[in-house]
Amino acid sequence: ILNTSYYKARIILTFSIVTIILVVAISFISYNFIRNLYLEEISSRIKSTTQIISNQIDESYLDILSIGNPTKLTQDYFQNIFTRNIINSNPSEIFLFNKEFLVIVHSQGLYEQQKHTNLLIYKSDIDELQVGQSITSIPFKGGDNVWYLWGFYKVKDNIFLAVRENAKQLEKVEQFALQFIYFGVFLTIVTIMISWFVARSITTPIDKLIKFSNEIGKGNFKVKPSTDIRGEIALLSEAMDKMKNDLSDHQKNREYLLAQIAHEIRNPLGGIELFANLLKEDLIAEKKEIDNVEKILKEVTQLKNLLTAFLNYSKPKPPSPTLINLPEMIKELENIFMPELKKKNIKFSSNLVIKEIN
């Protein structure tokens, strides 16, 4: 099946591979483009949020935080700022922390005077921040299985602002990639169907030409090529039809030539056979040896049979094997070729072993 469907399989496989590569490439590029675009947008928003919150903070309250633990009044001041920004924008968590990653003031009153160990992942980036600079983290999933991003802003020498921004839309971006996979599978199936149709439209006319050529090979010169072949293959079909007609003409010419040759040879053979029979009758009447005449008649008969075989050569027939007397045939060959063998000093010998077949 693979051998007879070689080109069909090649066409389907090529179309499928090209489609899969294109779909994977387009999906990968589209996914990364949309994801990076969204991350750039949310990163920019987080940086703006940290900048806005920082501008809302009174410098005097930052000085109080630098001295020691904040008072209740200071905590309330910062929590009011944080709560207001959470309501007006999208942050889910806002707090201030120092170089030791101790939380100073938290929007929800969490981790205060405790190390926020999650921030240690970004320690090297935070340490490199200058006053007034901000950075954002890579996306991460929180304990609620929702995507978030951190934004960090250096407010004062030893005070940093942290904002955790909700990035729920990133989940939709991830789903978008999954949709591309489904689309790719669907497109691959459609491509296989289309490529099968294209391959069939190419190989079906070729199959018809193969059948046409097989009939020609069998000597059937009356066969007609298929009429529903189009395009370049139709040109090949026309060329094969012309070849068939040429072969048919050649066959007729050969048959005519063989018939003429046979006619020209058979006439003298008929004469030889007639006179040999007359000679045989005379020798019999005179009671003389007739072996040589018998040989002449036998050779004439063989020549006539050979001519008949030549004539039948142009009209092939199914093989019809028959049993022959092999020793007798060898003896006959010896009689035919012995004169020539003697002239060339060639010795004729045979070593025939005959086994009976039950």
The tens digit of pLDDT for each residue in 260-299 reads 777 777 777 777 878 778 777 777 777 777 777 788 878 8
What average pLDDT does this structure show over 303-308? 77
Q: Which of 64-78, 94-108, 196-210 has the lowest mean pLDDT?
A: 196-210
Instruction: Dihedral sign for Cα 27, 30, 36, 38, please.
Output: negative
Residue type for 104, please? I
The DSSP bridge partners found for residue 149 are 165
For residues 229 and 237, is the Cβ–Cβ distance under 8 A? yes
Q: 269-274, long-range: CB within 8 Å, 24+ apart, which pairs?
A: 269/300, 269/303, 269/304, 269/307, 272/296, 272/300, 273/297, 273/300, 273/301, 273/304
What average pLDDT does this structure show over 212-219? 77
Q: Rounded to whole angstroms, how far apart are CA atoms 238 and 256?
A: 27
Q: Count CB atoms within 10 A of the CB of residue 318.
A: 4
For residues 70 and 78, is the Cβ–Cβ distance under 8 A? yes
Residue type for 351, please? N
- pLDDT(218) > 80: no
Q: Which residue reads 């000085």 in tokens? A: 63
Q: Rounded to whole angstroms, how far apart are CA atoms 130 and 128?
A: 7
How far from chain centre, in Å, is Cα 76? 69
DSSP state of 345: T
Residue-averaged pLDDT of the chain: 80
- What pLDDT is stored for residue 1 in this prediction? 38
Q: Rounded to whole angstroms, how far apart are CA atoms 94 and 151?
A: 10
Distance in angstroms between the alpha carbons of the first and the last residue of the chain = 42
Q: Which residues of 159-174 are buried (b: 16+ CB within 10 A; e: fewer)?
A: bbbbbbbbbeebeebe
The DSSP bridge partners found for residue 105 are 96
Please indicate whether residue 196 or residue 78 has the higher confidence score (pLDDT). 78
Q: At what angle do helices 72-88 and 6-56 cross, to 10 degrees?
A: 140
Please indicate whether residue 345 or residue 252 has the higher confidence score (pLDDT). 345
**Per-residue tokens: 34:** 């949309």
Q: Rounded to whole angstroms, how far apart are CA atoms 142 and 125?
A: 21
Give percent of the chain with pLDDT exceeding 90. 4
Q: Rounded to whole angstroms, how far apart are CA atoms 158 and 100?
A: 9
Please indicate whether residue 160 or residue 324 has the higher confidence score (pLDDT). 160
135 confidence band (pLDDT: 50, 70, 90): very high
- pLDDT(4) > 70: no
Q: Which residue reads 């389907």 in tokens? A: 12
Q: Rounded to whole angstroms, how far apart are CA atoms 8 and 301?
A: 57
Instruction: Count how many Cα atoms sit within 13 Å of the Cα of residue 332 in the half-sphere of its side chain.
Output: 11
- What pLDDT is stored for residue 36 in this prediction? 85
- What pLDDT is stored for residue 317 in this prediction? 57
